[in-house]
Amino acid sequence: MNAVYVINASDYKPISLGDSYLYQQYDKIASFLATNYGQEYVRLLAKPVIINNQINWHTDYDQPLSRIGDLSNEIQERIKTDYWRIKNKLDKDIEELEFSRTTEKRNWGNILKQIFNDENNVILTDGNYWCLLWGWKFMNKKENFLAPVFQPEEKEIVEEPVETSPIVDQEPEIEEEVIESNFVPVNHIAPRKRSFWYGLKRALRNFVYRYWGLLFFILLCLLLFCLMQKCTREECPEIFELNNQLDSLNSEISRRCIEV
């Protein structure tokens, strides 16, 4: 592999992964991507090698690469379009992995989600080939932003009646519509059919995210209610002791009044 880019390690904070850092798992991640997606996905991640507080990024490509923000708008739009196409495809698999029943798949979902995070990705390219810097908190969401493209609304065309001579025994010509597809087939994890429990977990998660304030308020009210109930019970030891003391004082006062 060839060194294509260098940055200072002290300028960015590495992303933690359990007891180690995410970038230290490159070989493990590359093996997973090669097995489940293909070698072309492995080439998307530059390999970090730290030497003397500098991160040297290596790829199979043998020419220097530039940050996408340093190139023309035309190149930026083309490369970022391809980046987001692949990222959106991976995000579907990542969501399936995160809600898997097996711990290993959930862990891989978390790892891939941190790797392909547009806020912590830096895109390097020469205008054609591109790869990612990853594993550190680059805070680079703005540079990777791709403005959505809105298709213009089709205007209704009103055809005016035109007098034409009748055509006898002539079948209308039918033009075949050719649809071009930019889909590039790759090996990826086949999405698992969503079960009832998957939908239930998603519904509960969305409910908690949306109404966590209300749930906290209800819990606080229940706690206050329990405390008030405890303090107002007659069998409460503190209240019972106070009542005994008051009875003793009343008896003592009555006795003294009689003696006087």
- How do residues 138-180 score in pLDDT, each as one tens digit? 999 999 999 886 655 544 444 455 454 444 444 444 444 444 4
Tell me how crowded residue 129 is: count the other CB atoms within 10 A of its CB: 15
User: By mean pLDDT, which of 129-133, 141-145, 219-223 is the weakest?
Assistant: 219-223
The mean per-residue pLDDT over the stretch 118-138 comes to 95
pLDDT of res. 244: 78
pTM: 0.58
Asked if pLDDT for residue 30 goes beyond 70, the answer is yes
Return the residue matching tokens 């293909």. 38
Q: Residue 250 pLDDT more than 60?
A: yes
Per-residue pLDDT, 219? 85
Give the pLDDT mean for 219-238: 72
Q: Can you tell me the mean pLDDT for 9-23?
A: 93
pLDDT band at 27 (very low <50, low <70, confident <90, very high): very high
Neighbours of 163 (CB within 10 A): 4
Cα atoms found within 13 Å of the Cα of residue 106, Cβ hemisphere only: 5
Q: How confident is the model at residue 131 (pLDDT cuts 50, 70, 90)?
A: very high
Query: Model confidence over 92-123: pLDDT tens digits?
Result: 999 999 998 999 999 999 999 999 999 999 99
Please, what sign has the CA dihedral across residues 88, 89, 93, 94?
A: negative
Q: Cα–Cα distance between 8 and 247 in angstroms, integer?
A: 80
* pLDDT number for residue 170: 47
Q: What is the largest CA-CA distance in the chain?
A: 136
**Greater pLDDT, 229 or 163:** 229
